[in-house]
Structure 1
Amino acid sequence: MTDDKQFSSLDPQGEEWETLRAEGHRMLDMMVDNLMILRQQPVWQPTPETVRQRFRSAPVPKNGGSLEDFTAAFQQDVLPYGVGNRHPGFMGWVHGGGTAPGMLAEMLAAGLNANLGGRDHAPVEVERMVIRWAATLMGFPETASGLFVTGSSLANFIAVIVASRAVKDGLALRRSGVGGRPLVGYAARSAHGCISRAFDLAGLGSDALRLVPLDGAFRMDIAALQNMITADRSAGFQPFMVVGTAGTVDVGAIDPLADIATIAEAEGLWFHVDGAFGAMAALSPYYRPALAALEKADSLAFDFHKWAQVPYDAGCVIVRDPIRHAAAFAQTLSYLSREDRGLAAGAPWFCDLGPDLSRGFRALKVWATLSVYGTRELGRMVDHCCAVARHLAQRVEREPDLELMAPVTLDIVCFRLRSPDLTNEELDTLNAEVVKDVQESGIAAPSTTRINERLVVRAAIVNHRTVNDDVDRMVDAVLMFARQRGLRSA
């Protein structure tokens, strides 16, 4: 022993509880105050070098300090320099803005410190309830299986694993590995990169994912899909799944899901949908018909932390057949035995449905969000975001120095500065530099992508706080910085 002080626990002692309570209230007030004045703050600002150096040079704490000092350090060095997605001017990536009830629910979950890997306790029932709600909202049967995960990247990975084990003799892959089995799947060229990564991590290899060309509306070309499946079968490959996207990352397009479902059924393929953000459009009576074919999918990946505004992280995977889902992951270990009663009852456990044994209580903040707002209000929020996106597209079309680069299907608008005096390559550079100018100004935070090999400005209207004035300010800033860089107005 090197310390004569007797250890009791890490909890406060005596009057220290009141000090903790007071500091907790101060933390809560700080965050609520910050939410109230978001619009008056910069969307994003670079982290100062002095702050970076404090983090990079800080030694591992040997002796403890006060909670007050920790709060002060957070307030000074972290709070002002976040990614900015809570701000109504954040439009660059598909990040939800979060809500105050979700923030409070996250605190409750942390206080409970529940492990949702398994065991028989109420938080497990909460997750099962929310999974059942999610399945119902997306047109799946209530009996569907599901799991909360970090995000759609992991949700898509789980779907690829389940689909590969659903083929004939597929469960043997769990023991012998993929080996030389020529399994191949299909997704549009516009599919998110996490689909290719899922094939890689699943041991299939990224080359096993065939990328299908797009039609004129940036959706999967159905004729090309059918031709590729036929060609692969003739070449001795074994097609096993096709992935449709509901809300592509670049332009927000929705693949022709009903047509994909028809081909998948005829060819005996697993039909998976990556609906990372776009699946939430099903909450809107106006947009739901475009997603009607979700009810035909074998599995679905989506995020509550995007358009549903749940704080990060809260991804979800739904699998129509719970038997196939469990068969892909469940394992029997003596120390994880399931009982008919007691704390080890309640099978199947969530660790039987995915790779994680230790899992946080993500479902609580989803329950809070759905309970406080309801699906009708969230559907109205979806409609609002799409209306702001249409307003932005109309503003772009009125500006002679801007051009719309893709149809606006949901909430993503892609546009580009143009000039007859500049080459395409010079315009690529101009658009890229102007986006960085706008981000560093703190006025707004759009991003860039490439459409038809041209670099464009991309604005995703996902934050429930964003209104028409916010996107107008973003356009004004784009034009202002472009002119400062020498763009001559048309």
Structure 2
Amino acid sequence: MGKTTLDPEDWGAFRSSAHKMLDDALDKMESARDGRVWNPLPEKMKAALQSEIPKQGLGIDELRQKLADLLPYGVGNTHPRFFGWVHGAGNPGGILAEMTAAAMNANLGGRDHGAIYVEKQVVEWCRQMMGFPAGASGLIVSGTSMATIIALKVARDQRFNFTCRQEGLSGRRLVGYASSQSHSCLGRAFDLLGLGAAALRRIECDHNFRMDTAELEETITRDRARGLVPFVIVGTAGSVNVGAIDDLQTINMIAEREDLWLHVDGAFGATAVLSKDLKGRLAGLEQADSLAFDFHKWLHVNYDAGCILVRSGESHLRSFSGRPEYLAGEGQGLAAGSPWPVDFGPELSRGFRALKVWAHLLEHGVEKLGRAINENCVQAAYLAEKITASSLFELAAPVTLNIVCFRYVSESVNDQDELNRSIVINLQNKGIAAPSTTILRGKLAIRVNITNHRTECGDLDLFFEETAKIAVELERAASSNGV
């Protein structure tokens, strides 16, 4: 019996099958605008994916076929009429970067090797992109959810001069502030940091869905009077519901006056700084103490890839540094290069996410990416004009960036929320388009988010026409049934 190895017995056959798989993947990307937006996974395939753990392996050709069979059954976000939630569209060049990363199999927790320098370069580019000062630090993470946890930990630790890393909070009750339109990952971060989700104060918004800064100041004053310890304000740069951008300059002034950390959740909206036409709307972003944003949304890097930037690299390092003896750094050799990424975040085992970001920025450049972002906002305004001009629909919120929320208005159907929900489900099930829904001012709205470099105005025309057609059909059916 020979030695066990996981390498192919026949490299030639493996290479041939791998080339076929690459062609399958590229065919998928090249035909991204064809066919249905979303294909439900067939029941037969669902059943096959509930099998027992394999005891014996497959041949490489059979494995390749199983992988290829999955390609049509993604969420649909590569298609130009995927308008749901906030999903980036990906890019073909990302396949090359993922192949390279897989071949290197690098662990970016630390040590002195090429992958670390790629990540450092990406973080430096991000610092420049977002206008953060020299001395700022950063890390490439899975997404804004992880970036938020890191940022709020630094904010919490800095509030108590980092003593809470060893001593805990010692009964001190911290509170933070964000708008009622802020992302749910903030409450989860408060929970994970031991502060409790209720310690996050949700501040009401104005008619443009921006944080009410007067209420923010009043809430901070009340909390201090109750003996609570305010420590952070979270500004939102592009809310998930409507794309609203908080008044970051005013919020920064309040944070400075109250001696609070300012974190900005810029998951998708922060990257609008790359657009010359949109950058001014994000004034104050560069003043934040920390910023979280994603590459896999409006920059179209393949999932997953996000970033955390911290203005004070020293505070960031103090919040996470401290390695055991078996991870001690050296001045030279493979263990050189301190500080390591593990000194800036919770993960020691880290994949080479930075490579696909680096490759994407090198391939396209930030000017082209900025133009793509700007085009999506122009498209959103185009759709909003069609809705405003129609007697069938009404806008449910102002259009700030790339998100359009609207409702079909019916005088004959009582449950208009259910009617609008049914419109969205019909669009998805028919494979025409994939918008999502949200609740705004107590009413359900159809939500169209355009973060796709493949979307054209013709896609919006088709979406609008089919939405109107489905809406009228559903209204007629509901009226005949007396709903």
Paired residue secondary structure (2:18): helix
Paired residue secondary structure (2:307): strand
Matching of residue 203 in structure 1 with residue 194 in structure 2: yes
- Alignment-derived partner of residue 2 in structure 2: 6
Paired residue secondary structure (2:40): coil
- Equivalent residue for 2:98, pick from 57, 82, 106: 106
Q: Deviation per CA, 1:97-147, whole angstroms, max 9, x where unpaired?
A: 011111211111111100000010011011001000001100102321101
Confirm or deny: 8 A CA contact 2:21 2:68 kept in the other structure.
no
Matching of residue 133 in structure 1 with residue 125 in structure 2: yes
Structure 1 position 61, deviation (Å): 1.3
- Alignment-derived partner of residue 439 in structure 1: 428
Taking the aligned partners of 2:324 and 2:287, their CA distance within structure 1 comes to 35
- Alignment-derived partner of residue 160 in structure 1: 152
Question: Structure 1 residues 488 and 437 mapped into 2: Cα distance closer, same or farther (>3 Å)?
Answer: closer
Q: Deviation per CA, 1:416-471, whole angstroms, max 9, x where unpaired?
A: 11112233xx1000111110110011110000000001000001000110111112
- Equivalent residue for 1:120, pick from 108, 112, 133: 112
Paired residue secondary structure (2:159): coil
Confirm or deny: 8 A CA contact 1:178 1:204 kept in the other structure.
no
Structure 1 position 178, deviation (Å): 2.6
- Alignment-derived partner of residue 370 in structure 2: 379
Q: Deviation per CA, 1:349-371, whole angstroms, max 9, x where unpaired?
A: 11111111100011110011110
Q: Deviation per CA, 1:350-405, whole angstroms, max 9, x where unpaired?
A: 11111111000111100111101001000100111111111111111122111111
- Equivalent residue for 1:71, pick from 32, 43, 64: 64
- Equivalent residue for 2:472, pick from 467, 472, 483: 483
Paired residue secondary structure (2:351): coil
Structure 1 position 168, deviation (Å): 3.1
Matching of residue 86 in structure 1 with residue 78 in structure 2: yes
Q: Deviation per CA, 1:315-340, whole angstroms, max 9, x where unpaired?
A: 11000111100111111301110111
Taking the aligned partners of 1:45 and 1:21, their CA distance within structure 2 comes to 30
- The equivalences for 1:291-370 within 5 A come to 291-370=282-361
Matching of residue 31 in structure 1 with residue 22 in structure 2: no
- Equivalent residue for 2:43, pick from 37, 49, 53: 49
Confirm or deny: 8 A CA contact 2:234 2:262 kept in the other structure.
yes
- Alignment-derived partner of residue 481 in structure 2: none
Paired residue secondary structure (1:478): helix
Confirm or deny: 8 A CA contact 1:419 1:488 kept in the other structure.
no
Structure 1 position 9, deviation (Å): 2.2
State the AA in 2 paired with 1:383.
N
Confirm or deny: 8 A CA contact 1:132 1:142 kept in the other structure.
no
Taking the aligned partners of 1:398 and 1:418, their CA distance within structure 2 comes to 13
Q: Deviation per CA, 1:225-266, whole angstroms, max 9, x where unpaired?
A: 111111111111111110000000000000000000000011
Paired residue secondary structure (2:405): strand
Taking the aligned partners of 2:262 and 2:66, their CA distance within structure 1 comes to 49
Confirm or deny: 8 A CA contact 2:412 2:475 kept in the other structure.
no
State the AA in 2 paired with 1:66.
G
- Equivalent residue for 1:40, pick from 34, 56, 60: 34
Paired residue secondary structure (1:486): helix
Taking the aligned partners of 2:35 and 2:342, their CA distance within structure 1 comes to 42
State the AA in 2 paired with 1:33.
D
Structure 1 position 54, deviation (Å): 0.7
Taking the aligned partners of 1:190 and 1:410, their CA distance within structure 2 comes to 15
Confirm or deny: 8 A CA contact 2:136 2:313 kept in the other structure.
yes
Structure 1 position 309, deviation (Å): 0.5
Taking the aligned partners of 2:95 and 2:421, their CA distance within structure 1 comes to 34
Taking the aligned partners of 2:46 and 2:134, their CA distance within structure 1 comes to 49
Confirm or deny: 8 A CA contact 2:410 2:475 kept in the other structure.
no
Taking the aligned partners of 2:45 and 2:477, their CA distance within structure 1 comes to 39
- Equivalent residue for 2:182, pick from 170, 191, 198: 191
Confirm or deny: 8 A CA contact 1:444 1:473 kept in the other structure.
no
- Equivalent residue for 1:469, pick from 458, 465, 468: 458
Unaligned ranges ≥5, structure 2: 479-483
Q: What RMSD, in angstroms, separates the aligned Cα atoms of the two structures? A: 1.2
Paired residue secondary structure (1:457): strand
Identity %: 49
- Alignment-derived partner of residue 244 in structure 2: 253
Confirm or deny: 8 A CA contact 2:419 2:475 kept in the other structure.
no
Confirm or deny: 8 A CA contact 1:413 1:458 kept in the other structure.
yes
Runs of 4+, deviation exceeding 3 Å? none
Unaligned ranges ≥5, structure 1: none
Taking the aligned partners of 1:38 and 1:269, their CA distance within structure 2 comes to 46
Q: How many residue pairs end up in the alignment?
A: 478
- Alignment-derived partner of residue 448 in structure 2: 459
State the AA in 2 paired with 1:308.
L
Structure 1 position 486, deviation (Å): 2.7
Confirm or deny: 8 A CA contact 2:424 2:436 kept in the other structure.
yes
Paired residue secondary structure (1:485): helix
The normalised TM-score by structure 2 is 0.97
Structure 1 position 476, deviation (Å): 1.8
State the AA in 1 paired with 2:121.
M
Taking the aligned partners of 2:252 and 2:28, their CA distance within structure 1 comes to 46
State the AA in 2 paired with 1:63.
Q
Taking the aligned partners of 1:183 and 1:312, their CA distance within structure 2 comes to 34
Question: Structure 1 residues 142 and 24 mapped into 2: Cα distance closer, same or farther (>3 Å)?
Answer: farther
